[in-house]
């Protein structure tokens, strides 16, 4: 995964190094869905996920966007308790086309999700599992600038996820569509 990220980063930077106009950096937030692996029942689970982004508009035609996301949920029944925490590290590489105050963009998002699950079973002990899931897929969207410093947008993603199931005899992969709403603030 590190090799793929490095190669994509080098390819994009070499392709845009000649057309650098002005760099624009910002901070963004999204709300959308993501897919987790529920070890207890060995199925993918969709959750609402918020993420923080660092959009970097390298030129009028390219941007990169590192991402950090977090989710935590708990569930209880008469016989068991479950706690799940996920941290998402990702990056997006995008071509973009400005159309007046709107920027349409298209590219790829990839990264990992570190997941930790804790289970306790009344009278039967407890269990703890940690896993790392990898994801990659095309993404495209648009952001509309209400001013030079603020934008609102939406993005759709088609993400392929390889889940770490902790088992050599059980593989789980997922291909799903995700939709995110974005709010971004730029300071230069």
- Domain limits of the chain? 2-186
Residue 182 — pLDDT band, cuts 50, 70, 90? very high
Residue 152 — pLDDT band, cuts 50, 70, 90? very high
- Residues recorded for the chain: 188
Q: What is each CA distance from 14 to 4, 41, 136, in whole angstroms?
A: 15, 45, 22
pLDDT at 169 over 70: no
CA–CA dist 73, 120 (Å, integer): 15
Q: CATH number for the 2-186 domain, one of 3.40.50.261, 2.40.160.20, 1.10.20.60, 3.60.21.10?
A: 2.40.160.20
Predicted local confidence at residue 61, as pLDDT: 94
pLDDT at 119 over 50: yes
Predicted local confidence at residue 14, as pLDDT: 44
Does this model's pTM top 0.85? no
């Amino acid at each position: 995964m590190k090799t793929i990220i490095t190669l994509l980063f080098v390819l994009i930077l070499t392709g845009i190094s000649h057309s650098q106009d002005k760099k624009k950096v910002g901070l963004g937030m999204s709300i959308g869905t993501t897919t987790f692996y529920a070890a207890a029942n060995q199925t993918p689970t969709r959750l609402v996920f918020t993420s923080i982004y660092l959009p970097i508009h390298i030129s009028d035609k390219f941007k990169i966007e590192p991402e950090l996301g977090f989710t935590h949920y708990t569930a209880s029944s008469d016989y068991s308790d479950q706690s799940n925490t996920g941290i998402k590290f990702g990056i997006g590489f995008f071509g973009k086309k400005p159309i007046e105050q709107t920027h349409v963009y298209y590219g790829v998002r990839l990264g990992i999700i570190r997941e930790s699950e804790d289970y306790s079973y009344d009278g039967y002990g407890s269990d703890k599992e940690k896993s790392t899931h990898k994801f990659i897929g095309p993404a495209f969207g648009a952001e509309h600038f209400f001013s030079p410093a603020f934008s609102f947008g939406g993005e759709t993603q088609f993400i392929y996820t390889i889940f770490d199931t902790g088992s050599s005899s059980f593989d789980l992969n997922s291909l799903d569509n995700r939709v995110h709403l974005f709010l971004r603030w730029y300071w230069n």
